[in-house]
Amino acid sequence: MLKLENISLNFDEFSLKKISFKVAGGEYFVLLGKSGAGKSLILEIVAGLVKPDKGKIILSGKEITNVAIQKRQVGIVFQDYAIFPHLSVKENICYPLKANKIPKHKREKIVMDLAEEMGISKLLHRKPSTLSGGELQRVALARTLTLNPKCLLLDEPLSSLDVQLRNEMRDVLRKLNKEGLTIIHVTHDYQEAVALAQKVGIIHNGSIIQTGTLKEVFHTPKSKFVANLTGIRNFYNAEIVSNKKVVLEKKVEISTLPIIDNSKEGFIFFRSEDVVISCDKIDSSLTNSFRGTILTIIPTISGVEIVVDTGIIISSYITEQSVKKLNLAEGKKVWVSFKATAVEFIGR
């Protein structure tokens, strides 16, 4: 669907180096990286706002690297929304329809339908200066969607919203994606990737250092940077069975804090630092305890990572002293425990 091949761009103090990735039709692709990594620049290159020095962009089998911005059929929503301040909400949404000479009676219907879908019908006659950030974003999204773009590019779409609005916007984005829209979403927040992505690309200093499914990237980070960025080794498909019980990978049931989320499925993750290893079962406040076998012991910069098979694979970070004290070795049977409060759930 969308393919970037060896896109390079040099500035004085920053450069994009041979950026290549593929996004399949209908896929939700999240580009994850710290600020200044070059994420937004990639979106602008795909949209045609910035010309790369080298490389190709292919959309639906056609090369669009040198196609004019207005003919690319790629919609972009900026972090600051870029709503035209002198036009009303309705005029903003109508703008692309007028620019593309859609007849008036069709324009009305498209605007009304999209406003309804985005929940902004009541705002149509307002001026942008009177809207909140969340409302502006919906207007920007509605405006971009009027022309049915082949691919939607989102620059940090959730970062400036409060928790409530963020959840609502996640639902909107999921719905759009389910309806078949290909989405590339740029963010610095791995939780957004977890909540939305089918595939992720990790970008660092102008290079893409890993792409793959969420599990591939989180379970087998190709570099220390990726591991630190996501920080998550214990990452599982989850099914809610009750308010405080979740089944991981259809194998192991764990306890959590009460889950306030309407979804039935999602992901569970917890940090390796929160996992305790012991030789015997301990009587403590740790509500989740499982017996398993140590698969590997991997030295890291800050200590040691112990990987235990308990039916699901669980990783724990402990100190070298603890390894010696407990006499840990590969193949040894141990108990792994973690608190319900250490567990995070993100619904899908």
Partner 1 sequence: MQKQSKFQLVIIFLSGIALLFIIAPMFGLMFSSSVSQLTETVADKEVQNSILLTLTTAFFATLVFSIAGIPLAYILARKEFPGKRLVSGIIDLPVVIPHTAAGIAILGVISRNSVLGKTAGAIGLDLVGNPVGISIAMAFVSVPFLLNAARDGFVSVPVRLEKTALNLGASPLRVFFTISLPLASRNIASGAIMMFARGMSEFGAVVIVAYHPMITPIMIYERFGAFGLKYAQPVAVIFVSVSLIFFIVLRVITDRKTD
C-alpha Rg value of the chain to the nearest Å: 23
CB of 71 to partner 1, least distance (A): 8
At 334, list the tokens: 């141990």
CB of 138 to partner 1, least distance (A): 16
At 205, list the tokens: 């200093």
CB of 34 to partner 1, least distance (A): 22
- Taking the least distance from each CB to partner 1, the nearer of 2 and 197 is 2
Q: If you count DSSP H runs as helices and E runs as strands, how many of each does the chain have, helices first?
A: 9, 20
- Taking the least distance from each CB to partner 1, the nearer of 76 and 346 is 76
Nearest Cα to Cα of residue 77 among 187, 185, 207, 237: 185
Q: Which helix (H) or strand (E) holds 269?
A: strand 265-270
- Taking the least distance from each CB to partner 1, the nearer of 156 and 248 is 156
Could you tell me the CA-to-CA distances from 297 to 24, 64, 115, 208, 272 in Å, in that order? 37, 48, 55, 29, 13
* Residue 281 buriedness (CB in 10 A; 0-12 / 13-18 / 19+): exposed
CB of 343 to partner 1, least distance (A): 41
Going by DSSP bridges, is the β-strand pair 182-187/151-155 parallel, antiparallel, or unpaired?
parallel
- Taking the least distance from each CB to partner 1, the nearer of 85 and 103 is 85
At 237, list the tokens: 């498909």
Q: How far apart are CA 223 and CA 37, in angstroms?
A: 16
Q: How far apart are CA 305 and CA 313, in angstroms?
A: 12
- Taking the least distance from each CB to partner 1, the nearer of 80 and 249 is 80
- Taking the least distance from each CB to partner 1, the nearer of 46 and 275 is 46
- Taking the least distance from each CB to partner 1, the nearer of 96 and 206 is 96
- Taking the least distance from each CB to partner 1, the nearer of 114 and 240 is 114
Q: Name the residues that contact partner 1, by CB under 8 A.
A: 47-49, 68-72, 74-76, 78, 80, 82, 84-86, 95-96, 99-100, 143-144, 147
Could you tell me the CA-to-CA distances from 127 to 84, 85, 172 in Å, in that order? 9, 7, 23
CB of 134 to partner 1, least distance (A): 19
CB of 223 to partner 1, least distance (A): 33
CB of 82 to partner 1, least distance (A): 4
- Strand ranges across the sheet with 304-309: 276-278, 333-338, 288-299, 304-309, 313-318
Q: Does the CA dihedral 325-326-332-337 come out positive or negative?
A: negative
Q: How far apart are CA 42 and CA 337, in angstroms?
A: 42
Q: Does the CA dihedral 286-287-288-291 come out positive or negative?
A: positive
| Exposure b/e, 290-315, CB count within 10 A at least 16 = b | bebebeeeeeeeebbbbbbebebbbb
CB of 61 to partner 1, least distance (A): 21
- Taking the least distance from each CB to partner 1, the nearer of 39 and 72 is 72
CB of 139 to partner 1, least distance (A): 12
